[in-house]
Amino acid sequence: MLDNKSLEWTRSLIKGYYQKATGIAPTNVEKREFGFGDFDKKIAYRHAAFRSAKELLDYLVKNVPPFVSYSSAYYQRPDGRPMETKGIMGAELVFDLDADDLKLDCKLEHGGKWVCSNCLDSVKEETVRLIEDFLIPDFGFKESDMGINFSGNRGYHVHVYGKEVFGLSGDARKNMSDYIAGNNIELTTFFPTLGMKGKRLEGPKPTDYGWGGKLANGVIKAINSGTSSLQELGIEKTEANLLIRKRAEVILGITTGNWDKVNIPKKGEFWGNVLKGISIGQSESIDKNVTNDLYHLIRMPNTLHGDTGLIAKTIGSIKELKAFDPMREAIAFKTGSLRVKIERAPKFAMGGKEYGPYDNTSEELPTYVAAYLVLKRLASVV
Ligand SMILES: [Zn+2]
């Protein structure tokens, strides 16, 4: 819970942001459902609808919600309830990637609520992989069909627009997320001799389309990067060392479709595990809800995240995504400073400067740093 002083201060910051945030309304405002959160719950109230961008922005300035979500679905009656009365017309396709689902080692050090630069870099890397290894080559989406934005805290959202995706059913979306997660893939489709006694293991080549090529390329890349990369794919150290020792031969073999250059026991299970290692790391969260559920609400791009004070900022291109630093580029409250009482916080960088670690201290900090700590419930306004 935020104390009254902190609450009042952060509300005035949020109000100030929305007073200047013209042009943030999404396309087709009048067809979307909106949901709003308070400081305790990200969606406390939904089924809201607006007739125009202006009506939406007036609402934001007047009510100052810490979280704003919208539907990727378009409806005939977006405020209708129950859901069945809304009259769904179709939905954009959305992928939600969160560092929390990546099972990173740094999380053991800093806990689940904190986000470090390793968390942010890792989830960004996964987002780039989702786009460059799956959405573009395998599904044929174009960069111009996509919208990418920072989530405002510890992840990224990828929106796919256009009529190819608009009419997709929940089942079709589930098939897509299964494909990306590497679920239900029959290994024998690209290892035709798998399990046949006395037959050489024929397998995919790096030039093959889809998962076969991904597996071949992934293994070659990991072999070239060394033992730890192979272990990241779930390969035991003994086998990893064996693959490295016979590196040249194994790579040449895979390039020509011969996967029998090293003797590996339980080949099916082995390469199946490696395939899982190459799939997108947060595929569980993709699976869970966002992509498959047409009715899901997701943070509206360029609104604020009430746990950080950062902007769920739209990123213009894949190139910009690769260079994007949210702790610099998603800062909203750029002016002024404030003295806050900080309970405890690890070291972190914001706006190109380092702060902390803090332990029960009082500091005068730039507004955006103070707001970040206050909204993370690690500091309070004095
Ligand atoms: Zn971390």
212-265 pLDDT, tens digit per residue, is 999 999 999 999 999 988 888 888 899 899 999 999 999 999 999 999 988 888
pLDDT given at position 273? 83
Report residue 304 as tokens.
């604020």
Q: Which CATH architecture has domain 333-382?
A: 3-Layer(aba) Sandwich (3.40)
Task: Give the distance from CA 80 to its chain's centroid.
Answer: 30
CB 301 within 8 A of CB 69: no
- Say which CATH topology domain 4-177+285-332 has: DNA primase, PRIM domain (3.90.920)
pLDDT given at position 285? 59
pLDDT digits (tens, 9 = 90+) for 35-85: 999 998 999 999 999 999 999 999 999 999 999 999 999 999 999 999 999
- Separation between Cα atoms, residue 162 and residue 140, nearest integer Å: 12
Q: What is the DSSP string of 270-338?
A: HHHHHHHHHS-TTHHHIIIIITT-TT-EEEPTTSBPTTT-BB--EE--HHHHHH--HHHHSB---S-EE
Going by the DSSP 8-state scheme, the letter that residue 188 receives in this structure is: G
CB 306 within 8 A of CB 153: no
pLDDT digits (tens, 9 = 90+) for 114-166: 999 999 999 999 999 999 999 999 999 999 999 999 999 999 999 999 889 99
pLDDT digits (tens, 9 = 90+) for 321-366: 999 999 999 999 999 999 999 999 999 999 999 999 999 999 999 9
Q: How far is the CA of 113 from the centre of ligand 1 (A)?
A: 10
State the Rg of the chain over Cα.
24
Give the global pTM: 0.92
Residue type, 51: R
Q: How far is the CA of 126 from the centre of ligand 1 (A)?
A: 14
pLDDT given at position 69? 98
Query: 348: which strand partners?
Result: 355
Q: Which residue has the tokens 């690769």?
A: 322
Side-chain-side CA neighbours of residue 293 (13 Å) = 13
pLDDT given at position 286? 64
Q: How far is the CA of 118 from the centre of ligand 1 (A)?
A: 5
Range(s) within the chain of domains with CATH label 3.40.5.50: 333-382
- Which residues are catalytic, by number? 96, 98, 287
Query: Over 70: is that where the pLDDT of 21 sits?
Result: yes
Residues contacting residue 179 through CB under 8 Å, at least 6 positions apart: 134, 138, 211
Q: How far is the CA of 155 from the centre of ligand 1 (A)?
A: 12
Q: How far is the CA of 140 from the centre of ligand 1 (A)?
A: 33
Higher pLDDT, 330 or 269: 330
Average pLDDT of 9-22?
A: 97
pLDDT given at position 123? 93
Q: What is the DSSP string of 113-127?
A: T---HHHHHHHHHHH
Residue type, 152: G
Q: How far is the CA of 360 from the centre of ligand 1 (A)?
A: 22
pLDDT given at position 351? 97
Q: Any alpha helices (H) in the chain, and if so which ranges?
A: 4-20, 53-63, 106-110, 117-129, 163-166, 170-181, 210-225, 227-232, 237-245, 247-255, 267-278, 283-285, 318-323, 326-329, 367-375
Round the average pLDDT of the chain to a whole number and report it. Answer: 93
Strands 73-75 and 88-91: antiparallel
- Separation between Cα atoms, residue 204 and residue 308, nearest integer Å: 45
Query: Over 90: is that where the pLDDT of 197 sits?
Result: no
pLDDT digits (tens, 9 = 90+) for 271-328: 888 888 888 765 565 656 677 889 999 999 999 999 999 999 999 999 999 999 999 9
Q: How far is the CA of 115 from the centre of ligand 1 (A)?
A: 5
Q: How far is the CA of 105 from the centre of ligand 1 (A)?
A: 7
Range(s) within the chain of domains with CATH label 3.90.920.10: 4-177+285-332
